Amino acid sequence: MAYDLSDLKTRMQKSIASLRDELAGLRTGRASPSLLEPVTVEAYGSRMPLNQVATVTVPEPRMLSVQVWDRQMANAVEKAIRDSGLGLNPMGEGQVIRVPLPELNEQRRKELAKVAHNYAEAARVAVRHIRRDGMDALKKAEKDGDLSQDDSRVQADLVQKATDAAVAEIDQVLAAKEAEIMQV
């Protein structure tokens, strides 16, 4: 009986996708609609994500444009962006709110690179936990007699190769984000 690696690979890919999502939220000086994803707006008596009351576009590399659907919500959206803790200063122009992204200084770039490294390390740890789960399942199958010792060793090598590939992909994602952060 061969051990099914597809579940482990799927879980590892989910860890990598989670890393990509976290890194997308890091402000690099280049405009990205995902930068405003954590912003919530006080709208219609409750807190709503910004993308449920407005459309975010990137008209220029260092500018976000927020098109509010309901004109009465423009001030609330502007206030939510200002109070979000992202260090952004929106400028309202009717239903359109322009959000210029300030230039990052060298110290801030280095801080963001450290944050990116922390996210990548958390993803590596998650992948190692998935590998450990896979190895435990192999040992249990071997102990129960469902898997021979030789098959278990072969499957363990496959689990390790999948882990190495996932860690290499994490390193590539981190290197790309780091280059984007350090780009002036």
- The span from the CA of 78 to the CA of 93, in Å, is 10
Mean pLDDT by 10 residues, the chain (184 residues): 76 92 75 80 86 88 87 88 81 88 81 88 95 91 87 91 95 91 76
**How does pLDDT run across 135-179, given as a tens digit for each residue?**
998 999 888 888 888 888 999 999 999 999 999 999 999 999 888
Reading the block at residue 125, the tokens are: 């740890």
Concatenating the DSSP letter of every residue in 27-46 gives --SS--GGGGTT-EEEETTE
135, 173, 179, 168: which is closest to 153 by C-alpha? 135
Q: Maximum CA pair distance of the chain?
A: 71
pTM score of the predicted model: 0.68
- DSSP lists the bridge partners of residue 64 as 99
CB neighbours of residue 170 within 10 Å? 23
